[in-house]
Structure 1
Amino acid sequence: MQMRGGSSKGAYFLAADLPADPAERDDLLLRIMGSPDERQIDGLGGGHPLTSKVAVVGPSESPGADVDYLFLQVVPDRPIVTDAQTCGNLLAGVGPFAIERGLVAPAGETTTVRIRIMNPTVSLAEATVRTPAGQVQYDGDTVMAGTPFPAAPIDLAFPGGDAPLFPTGQVVDFFAGVEATAVDAGMPVVLVRAGDLGLAGDEEPAVLEADEALRAKVEALRVEAGRKMGLGDVRDTTVPKVSIISAPRHGGTVTTRTFIPHRVHAAIGVLGAVSVAAALRARGEANNRLVRVEHPSGFFDAYVQLEGVGPKARLVRSTVVRTARKLSDGLVWPRTGKATG
């Protein structure tokens, strides 16, 4: 099934329909999505990280979850499939997909699907899906920045955990000579002030992507941050993200431009926004639980509850509202041969 989840788009599969061996699975997904090819012209991918995503969903053996969700990022122009991070945008489609595939039975006007996220950074989430008359409702009036059309709301809630909000043990670090904050509230993110990179902070994504010196600087601090955050060598991974922050322009809490990690997001990821919001609250720069994160195509509201302040702060719970829509449902014909051949 192809779905738009949040401000991303991806292919959703039942786990039982894919090879159990990770190497065989990844090779198949490269051929299905059309990688390696920057256009992905021979597959389902859209030639951009935001449209080259896969969700693998199956029944969960955990008593606290209904389904397991594994997110896989298929790199468009390289033969790489990575599970190093999760995706909160594609997560918005997991609840509807689970109900459509019969993994979870509709429970009334709304159905809550308990999801165990199998990627390293988040353990559990709850998605509340509108299911009037026992059917997933996709049409609605909720307009979400980063998508052009309204749809039915899907409420996503993330419980906190015992993991530290600041993996380095400090609120402020220096990476590649730049002051930054390394945070993980579901997505490893490095916050850097725009002025420290010689930026205004409201540049268009294409302008930032075209600045080779900036991209090299961002990558250098990202690689150093990754090591200090305990992520190892991150040169070939998609985490941490780097969010460039500056003063709000439209009444929000902060303006962001986010490298994901080499392209610049047209909006901001769900858990990336939660991490930004949590860092601002722990740093004392956001006094309310509702943090409005401005991004290139609008804003993202994240409700964040913390316990404690400063380097000992811990995430208790976060909630967001997303939308999703089923685009197509059927068979896909992967190209033959090996993806790396």
Structure 2
Amino acid sequence: MQKTIPCVLMRGGTSRGPFFRAEWLPEDVAKRDRVLLSAMGSPHELQVDGLGGGNSLTSKVAIVSRSARPGCDVDYLFAQVSVDKELVDTRPNCGNMLSGVGPFAIDQGIVPATDGETRVRIYNVNTRSTIDAVVQTPGGRTEYEGDARIDGVSGTGAPIRLNFLDAWGSVTGKVFPTGNLQDVIDGVAVTCIDAAMPMMIVRAASLGVAGNETPVQLDANEALLERLESLRREAGRRMGLGDVADSVIPKPVLVSAGAHGDMVTSRYFTPHKCHRSHAVTGAIGVATAFVTPGTVAFDLGASRPAGMHRIEVAHPAGRIDVDVELREGASSLEVRGAGLIRTARKIMEGQLYVPARFF
């Protein structure tokens, strides 16, 4: 026997996956995860028996519900479904899938649309952080078509602005959870940072690569991947995340100089393969490290005064422009806000079939 549940398949930024209202899924976490594994066709390298695309970027799920938190419209739980393991990880956030949450909430009638633009305040359950999504709603209806272009996606779409309000230290409690701007792990200087996503940032040159290699080239460098994973596991322990062998956080990131003083080149890992473009949350973290004196990324750019600054994060498919706000902190300038533009597309809406035994 199979059971049907509503499902909306969407592209969010450079990722893709099914969106569900929380009430469409089992309340029990173990049952819910079995449904998600079945929905995506995991574990299987091609995910041929589900909606997944055989890649971590297309094996993602967004679960949305009306929020009971003061000032928030919806709660968003992100789930990274492993392609080749029976594993559903809800520890990280995904900023690309996040870009579809506002349109989904409006289309579902959770948030009423206003003529012109509609602001949707989203509480990310994974990282306990709040994001404002500004969605185009001319005539009170979600508009997906537009002229905004993001690297890593063909064509254009309506711009969706994501403003990250309190994503600094949201998972570990500190922007720099080890208490240091740099740590040395196995002879390599790294920056452990929790800014929208827990990450371990390493200069590419420290691991013997240029930092502008393609994802295919980096994925083929087995020695590099083994070294990164070793560093990542120790970084996770030092960040208070425990044993991260079966977790996708912290994410390892290689950085190198960009084409000019306001650009940093990044290669973001998910964590065992190089991202074909870049995670939005990862771009926020890289930009934060880039403008913070003392990190391994800071010397790649130029020092900046207080105020708004546009940082370009170069990635394999192009770049992400991140607007960061620097304010005076207790002893130095600190990043207190960041925003960027994404697009989303509703691909299909219908009924998903899953084995009834999972319910």
Per the normalisation by structure 1, the TM-score is 0.95
Q: Closer, same or farther in 2 for the Cα pair 1:167/1:304, shift >3 Å?
A: same
- How far did 1:184 drift? 1.1
CA distance in 2, matches of 1:271, 1:8: 13
Relative to structure 2, which stretch is displaced further, 40-49 or 165-174?
165-174
User: 2:353 aligns to what?
Assistant: 333
- Determine helix, strand or coil for the equivalent of 1:143: coil
Which position in structure 1 is the counterpart of 2:5?
none
Matched, 1:85 2:105: no
Tell me which moved more, 133-142 or 159-168. Answer: 159-168
CA contact (8 A) 1:282 1:309 kept: no
CA–CA separation in structure 2 for the residues paired with 1:36 and 1:17: 22
1:128 to 134, 138, 144: 134
Q: Residue 291 of structure 2 aligns with which residue?
A: 281
> What residue number does 2:157 align with?
151
- Aligned partners of 2:187, 2:327: CA distance in 1, in Å? 31
Number of the residue aligned with 2:4: none
Matched, 1:315 2:322: no
1:261-312 per-position Cα deviation (integer Å, ceiling 9, x unaligned)? 0011011111110001001111254436211000000001111123457997
CA contact (8 A) 1:186 1:274 kept: yes
Contact 1:34 1:40 in 2 (8 A): yes
Which of the numbers 98, 105, 114 marks the counterpart of 2:112? 105
Q: In structure 1, what residue type is equivalent to 2:35?
A: L
Give the TM-score normalised by structure 2: 0.90
Structure 2's unaligned 5+ residue stretches are 1-7
Q: Write the deviation string for residues 227-260 of structure 1: whole angstroms up to 9, x where unpaired.
A: 1111111110001111101111478511111111
- Give the residue type in structure 1 aligned to 2:242: G
Mapped pair 1:212 → 2:222: yes
Structure 2 CA distance for partners of 1:105 and 1:256, relative to 1, 3 Å: same
Taking only the aligned residue pairs, the percentage that are identical comes to 46
Instruction: Tell whether the 8 Å contact from 1:69 to 1:117 is kept in structure 2 after alignment.
Output: yes
Whichever residue aligns with residue 105 of structure 1, its letter is P
- 1:137, distance to aligned residue in structure 2 (A): 0.3
SS at match of 2:119: strand
Distance (Å, rounded) in 1 between the aligned partners of 2:111 and 2:340: 22
**1:31-180 aligned within 5 A:** 31-119=38-126, 121-160=127-166, 163-180=173-190
- SS of 2:103's equivalent in the other structure is helix
Aligned residue pairs total 337
Separation in 1, partners of 2:10, 2:186: 39
Aligned equivalents of 2:288, 2:330: Cα separation in 1: 11
- Distance, in Å, in 2 between the alignment partners of 1:181 and 1:83 is 24
The CA RMSD measured in Å over matched residues stands at: 1.8
1:246 aligned to 2:256? Answer: yes
Instruction: Determine helix, strand or coil for the equivalent of 1:104.
Output: coil
Match of 2:204 among 191, 194, 219: 194
Q: Which moved more, 1:276-285 or 1:219-228?
A: 276-285
Q: Distance in 2 between matches of 1:336 and 1:259?
A: 36
